[in-house]
Structure 1
């Protein structure tokens, strides 16, 4: 070795020196705690306003059925107040009033279903995939039952039946709809209120916390397993990828804002 040659550690490339300086600057910069970042993301929780609509729709459904029973009993089944009913209902008639009220109620249920789907899709895009899948069938049930009730009412009104028998069948359909749709709406209202009260983190964040604090490591299903539904796995992965993209964007914004505050 030539004594005039300088030591190798003094002849490091310029790229290595630049990289070490960049790493030192990153280390010396303001550090953002995980708790601070998590609390910033937690403040982004958005509640679902659809529980008010579900409760209001339940009340309207009960009021409609009660009024329909009163109109049917007073104006048709008893027949003592036919003149008074004709003067109040005019050319619509008792049956027409019940049918028009049913159509109006069905339109409200349809609007509720469309609005609820929109808000739940927004919740799915924010990472609440389990809640979205758990409530997906509950959202459709009121509209399905009301649509089936409309079909039965059309069949009853079109059939050549006696007026009293026809009215009894119409009231039976309305009561069955009430006993099925209102409990479904109340169940949905309770679940949404619980969801808004918990203000839980997205599903991915909850799974990360469980993995970090769990004593025993539980294997998670990240791919296709024998006996599992391939379409469901692909759907879950698509939802997860969509959420992770938005989650990364949110993390970048929060990192920039918290770095600027420090």
Structure 2
């Protein structure tokens, strides 16, 4: 108590604090509908399924054309003049190698595009989908890169034309055999994700418990727990930053 007035010593401070709170309440209020429109975002599909199908068709077409070039131009089966009229002075193995480089560039562009779209899905809160596709989206490029390395070794070796041609066709066949199932599986997973149109992981009860769990569970590892926590923290940082900017814009408009 104050010795002079007999009133509590913190009365003036409480009064000024209540005035400050009243001034904050008298400020512009944001409607509930505007807040919900900021927090809730419409589902956006991952637009990579069509590109994956197109890349599969291009890969099959390249292998078929490579077989035709190898048979006509290198093994000298059939009409040789047709090969010379189409390729001109370019040798058959060189044409196959040039086509392989173009296909690898398309794979590189596709992988970069997939990474960009998956990062957008991760920023929208689909952390589980991002984690499941983390290794699959780079598998295509790794397979083609390994095929390029084997082709360089075969072409650099001093082999006969027949042996070299059959080795090149074998490598292209194995590459197609490993690449198509991976690309097909990726396409199916993306189509399923787009059809489900599920809410973000952080807004679902069960997924939120999985992503925010602490400690260890049976079958879990330290790397997995740390990676899940890192994904969740990064998403929350981005989401809070975006939400703060939108709230400031709404407040300024009102």
The one of 222, 225, 230 aligned to 1:238: 230
Q: Does 1:221 align with 2:213?
A: yes
Give the length in aligned residue pairs: 249
Which of 131, 135, 138 matches 1:137? 135
Q: Does 1:186 align with 2:184?
A: yes
Quote the Cα distance in structure 1 between the aligned partners of 2:206 and 2:35.
15
- Higher alpha-carbon deviation: 94-103 or 47-56: 47-56
Quick one: distance in 2 between partners of 1:254 and 1:168? 61
Give the structure, 1 or 2, with the largest relative contact order (CA under 8 Å, sep 6 or more).
Answer: 1
For structure 1, the 5+ residue unaligned runs are 1-7, 212-217
Q: TM-score, normalised by structure 1?
A: 0.76
Contact kept in structure 1, 2:202 and 2:208, CA below 8 Å: no
On the 8 A contact 2:73/2:83 being kept in 1, the answer is yes
Q: Report the 3-state secondary structure (helix = DSSP H, G, I; strand = E; otherwise coil) of the residue aligned with 2:195.
A: helix
- The structural deviation recorded for 1:118 is 2.1
Question: Could you give the per-residue CA deviations for residues 218-240 of structure 1, whole angstroms, max 9, x where no partner exists?
Answer: 99632456974333333322221
Corresponding position of 2:201: 203
Unmatched 5+ stretches in structure 2? 1-6
Give the alignment partner of residue 125 of structure 1, picking from 120, 123, 126: 123
Q: Root-mean-square deviation (CA), in Å?
A: 3.6
Contact 2:212 2:229 in 1 (8 A): no
Paired with 1:32 and 1:209, the residues of 2 have a C-alpha distance of 29
> How much does 1:179 deviate?
1.5
Separation in structure 1 between the aligned mates of residue 211 and residue 154 of structure 2, nearest angstrom: 56
